[in-house]
Amino acid sequence: MLKNQVGIVTGASRGIGKAIAYKLAEKGMKLALVGSSDDIHNVEAEMKEKGFDQVKGYQVDVSEEKSVDAMVSTVINGFGGVDVLVNNAGMGFFKLVEDTTVEEWRRVFDVNVQGVFLCSKAVLPHMKGKKAGTIITISSDVGRYTIANGSAYTATKYAVQGFSGSLAQEVREYGIRVGTVNPGMVDSYFNNSEQGVEDKKDWLKGEDIAEAVAYMASAPKHMLIDEIVVHPLVQNYPIA
């Protein structure tokens, strides 16, 4: 289903994004790997060493419109189009409201919300033109409930949910599908933590989220999966 399709994965330098890139490459996709640092070129080289030849790394700040537009244009010209966009780039921190600076608030919104907006906006003319495409955003389970000390991060994920829902309604007539994957606790580098430590051994792994993305992206064209919520068994997830 995904073989020879073209995908863009943001935040692909490590953690969940890197796992998603590997999973989609295993499915036979051609991939643009997007990261904010030059580490993304190391991921490109690593994947090519493992036989995934149809990958290309791009160092891009997803909050910068000109950089995003240039990257998408280059991908379309180089790969011949874009079939799947995975908005994975994100950041987060946990602080009391009164301890959160305006700069921190702006930056988390720039990456988590503006990045999703800009990348989605950039691929839409192409997807509308061919009347097909899938846009998947890695959101969070806190896009459905709230947590203490997480006002900025939680607010961005509520924004992402609202944006994705509205966009899905706008583009449905063009055959474009928009959905979110909302993970709970994932063993990753989130909030400057370490991946693979003992305390996270029972948490979700990046590969679990990658499987959800592949499932959503490979659904039959008549099927829209609005969202997937996945969390580890050890997490006390509030259903309502």
Active site residues: 153
Q: Report the run of H or E that residue 133 belongs to, with start and end.
A: strand 133-138
Whole-angstrom CA distances from 66 to 53, 61, 71, 122 are 27, 10, 9, 10
The string of DSSP codes covering 27-49 is TT-EEEEEESSTHHHHHHHHHHH
Torsion 160-227-208-19 (CA) sign: negative
What does the DSSP 8-state code read for residue 149?
Answer: T
Cα–Cα distance for residue pair 10/36, rounded to 1 Å: 9
| Among 191, 102, 106, 103, residue whose Cα is nearest residue 142 | 191
Q: Three-state DSSP class for 160? A: helix
